[in-house]
Each structure stands twice: as C-alpha cells, then as structure tokens.
Amino acid sequence: MKNKFDKILFDLDGTITDSKEGILKCLRYAFDKMELENPDEEFLMSFVGPPLIESFLHKVNLNEKDAKKALGFYRERFQTIGIYENKLYPGISELLHLLSQRNDIKIYIATAKPLPFTIRILEYFKIIKYFDDISGSTLDGSISGKTQVISTLLNRLEPDFNKNRTLMIGDRDHDILGAKENGIKSLGVLYGYGNKEELGEADYLIDSVVELQKFLLGGK
C-alpha cells in the first residue's frame, strides 16, 4: 500500500531528541547572569520550542536590548556544554533509518533551533545522513519561528510537491500552527514536551515512537 505521506518534516527538540536537561540548565545560567529570579521548571519548559528571543521578550518582559543579552548568555553555555546535555528518544534512530531506506519517502528537519546548532546535534548523534534537507532559524533572527522555518523549507522543494502528502511532526503547539499556516498536515507526539490540550489542533496524535513508526510505515 502506498504511504499516506511522502514528505515528512520532523521537529528536533522534544520529537527527535530529549534536550530538556541542556536547555533548562542554559536558561538558568542566563537568568543568573541577568541577575533575574530563577523561575520554576514549569515556566522554563514553556521556553522549549518557540524562539527564545520571543520568550525573553514576552514571558520575562525584558526589553529588546536585555532580551538579546539574555539570549547571548544562553548561547554562551549552550554551544559548549548544553548542546551535549541531550539524548535521542529510544527507537528514533532506527525509525529514521527505516524511513531513509524508502524510495517513496523523503524526510526533513524543520526546527526553530538555530541551524548551526541543529547541524552539530544531528552530526553528534550521527543521524544527519538520514535527512534530505534541514531548515532551522538563523542566529541573526532573519528566519525565526516555526511557520517561517517550514515555509523556508517548502520553498526549496520541487514546485509540484503535494501539500496533502506532506506532514509536520512535532511536540508543541507552534509545530501544529506552523503546519496549518503552511497548508500541510500535522502530527503531535505526546512523548515530547506538549500535552493533549496543547496539541489538540493536530490532525493526528500519537503516544510513542513505536506508534509513530506504525503510523508512518505500517505494520504491527
């Protein structure tokens, strides 16, 4: 039977990798450097996924200058330490390998994480070889947010690709919204950082990597 989707876009944090430890430690580092009161983990988890500059601006209410300064402190620790405080979800590498072996499927990365960090992470876990293209944000903010990241990637695909057979897989609401705003289907993974309420607008919901493999490739 022909696969339902032939172009599959994956988010990174909370979908392919469990990056919570590194991100939270880098956020706490930034808050300490900015001499701000360190918030609880639930609040910090809301930073995982959306562009960090927006979270510093709107969730911490920093002005633009201080938000950029806080982002700089975050990246100071992340690019040397935090980037490796990270792990693949069990079974995800095997799934990516199986997808990459299919002639009728192409897989991509679409993440709000800056592209240079994304490439380093994919290389570190030795999974970069599975992806046909990689789209991320830019360090200067010229490409920022999931909607723009997805549209940047879709614009690089052949002009006659079928949006109805293109799927965005992610764990946060901005993944689902970004897919809808680009006219493609979305799948929310509940093993990541979002819950059923947050991912309620997704076209599909799955609970585990095992279920994700069944959905994408079929089989028992």
* Residues classed as catalytic: 11
* 218 Cβ neighbours under 8 A, 6+ residues apart: 1, 3
The answer to whether residues 175 and 49 touch, using CB atoms and an 8 Å cutoff, is: yes
